Structure 1
Amino acid sequence: MNKQQTEAIYADARSQSSITEEQARFFLDNGFLVIKGVLHGEELKIVQDEMEKQVAKGVAGVQDDPDYMYGKGGKSGRNILRRIEYIIDKSDPMKALLGHPFILRSVEKLQGRNFIPTWDSMVLKMPDEGIIVPWHRDAEVPDGCTDPRPIFNVDFYLDAADLATCLWVIPGSNKWSKEACKARIEKDGADRFSTEDAIPVPLEAGDAIFHDITVLHGSPAGDGNPLRRTVYYEFRPGEIEWNYGPHTREYLGLKQQMLLSCLDRRADASYAQGEEPFVYRPDGALVLGERKASNTFRYPHLSYWRD
């Protein structure tokens, strides 16, 4: 596939109810898919404002809270905020965002009706101090898994991302072997970011991108860059989690209930009135149990890790 073809395929949440078969195939072949206009108007403004509160808290410094993560600024050398974990638990609009019907219908098309949400985070490039994110895979498919369905992140962009801040991907690297990926990563190391075999993915505020956990991606260090906030929600087919982990089977039921609660939050949101809601309908071994109220939306991964 040439660069022009790779850049030409995207979905539009403003005119579609979910991704099409052609767009799904593009994603499966290339490891990423751009979605235009996922957030707009009132919802975009509310989500931006909510996450600005989290940025301000992190910039002020958070003692003894591992959810707020820092790295060494490329220009100043100071500790710079780079990531915040478990943002769904920290904000009601982020709960409603998990219930976005276009996103969930598209996830169901790619993963089947037994999907579950797993990780939720916000990653940042702070103004003029964007920290390099070297080429990497987010994770590997669990050992022994032969299920071909993709595990992927949905990345919601709260700020425009130009060439100074956007994600770069190597199309098709989701199909590479571990050895081939390791060789490409080691070619650059931790401090260099060559892009001769990659393409940039510039986006507007409110756009999103699906990216497979096994596609090679990253971003260069910023120099004069504006703020870029990106919210990451990962989804996994429930059957993969059930059979191979990495979480315990108890975790699946808890995250199913969490998703149902987030769908309720979206139904109550002013900006969601009039949209066709997503209906979550897992079946088989993962059929929904009795609804259970919970006072938390934060399920620490290591607390539910398989031995």
Structure 2
Amino acid sequence: MDLTGVNIPVADARKQEAITDEQAQYFLDNGFLVVRGVLAGEELALVQREMQRLYEKGAAGVENDPDYMYGTGVKSGQPVLRRIEYVIDKSDPMKALLGHPFILRSVEKLQGRNLIATWDSMVLKAPDEGVIVPWHRDAAVPDGCADPRPIFNVDFYLDEADLKTCLWVIPGSNKWTKAEADARCNQPGFSTDDAIPVPMQPGDVIFHNIEVLHGSPSGDGNPLRRTVYYEFRPGEIEAEFGPHTLEYLSLKQQVLLDCIERRKAAPYAQGETPFLYRPNGAFAVHAARRPEQYRYGHEHYWRR
């Protein structure tokens, strides 16, 4: 795959059990990795329908629900849906998606056995109203953390992302200092001189480090673009630095175990080799139990 005029590693979930050592190293060095064909066929169609349902609900306007977030449309100047939080809670197919074995085996390769699924959301560019996403980092690695394992998002693309709607990244910016990143983010406009576009097809995935600089320009005649984000963090980093409490980590482990079981029962997942979640040490799970809920609001589990 040639994204920049230079060949870079691209994983293919249709041919691999997990990302390779070369692909993992590329991700660690550059802060992003493209994976082709994670979703296909019945599952892709089902997830697209489910997220279209949520999009249409949000596009019609949802009051007094903080899970539905709005920006200002570039053409109309009116409120436009830009993000929906806690999609796993809102859709059973999104629960099964969290149990995707290629994704979880790849996350385990990068983070170790004690991986924790933390955030889940859908970000949007509404048709012809694409809201600019300025250059930014999603978050910062906690101060004092010397653990080299990455914290990252897995971005599932449900629509084609062409040059009007795709993500742009600055390779290697995940290794920049805060001062370097801030200086780049504070440059006026949306310059792409040091960046590359990452066009995607429905069913493709991007892994992106929370510290890699990325963004996208405003839309001009853009089609709808829906992208589901699942964030993962090494449990050891969360336990030492937060931002969540230890109780939250345990609850989210039970959600992940439940989602893996749900995937095993999904008709489109038959023939897969399920992911075996084997947390150890202080993170060992001695008994799986059905979660009481799938929406554990972050604000209730911040460390004080």
Q: TM-score, normalised by structure 2?
A: 0.98
Q: Distance in 1 between matches of 2:60 and 2:223?
A: 19
Q: Distance in 2 between matches of 1:269 and 1:24?
A: 29
| TM-superposition CA deviations, 1:144-194 (whole Å, max 9, x none) | 111000000000000000000000000000000000000000012xxx211
Corresponding residue to 1:249 among 234, 240, 246: 246
Q: 1:266 maps to what in 2?
A: 263
Displacement, 1:290?
2.4
Q: 1:4 maps to what in 2?
A: 5
Q: 2:205 maps to what in 1?
A: 208
Q: 1:238 maps to what in 2?
A: 235
1:73 matched to 2:73? The reply is: yes
Q: Distance in 1 between matches of 2:136 and 2:288?
A: 38
Q: 1:133 maps to what in 2?
A: 133
Corresponding residue to 1:225 among 222, 225, 233: 222
Q: TM-score, normalised by structure 1?
A: 0.97
1:33 matched to 2:30? The reply is: no
| TM-superposition CA deviations, 1:114-173 (whole Å, max 9, x none) | 000000000000000000000000000012111000000000000000000000000000
Q: 2:21 maps to what in 1?
A: 21
Q: 2:83 maps to what in 1?
A: 83
Displacement, 1:295?
3.1
Residue 4 of structure 1 aligns to a residue whose secondary structure is coil
Q: 1:105 maps to what in 2?
A: 105
| TM-superposition CA deviations, 1:188-247 (whole Å, max 9, x none) | 2xxx21100000000000000000000000000000000000000000000000111010
Residue 228 of structure 2 aligns to a residue whose secondary structure is strand
1:114 matched to 2:111? The reply is: no
| TM-superposition CA deviations, 1:2-47 (whole Å, max 9, x none) | 9433x53100000000000000000000000000000000000000
Q: Distance in 2 between matches of 1:286 and 1:205?
A: 35
State the aligned residue count. Answer: 302
Query: Identity rate of aligned residues, in percent?
Result: 70
Q: Distance in 1 between matches of 2:46 and 2:284?
A: 33
Displacement, 1:67?
0.2
Q: Distance in 2 between matches of 1:51 and 1:13?
A: 22
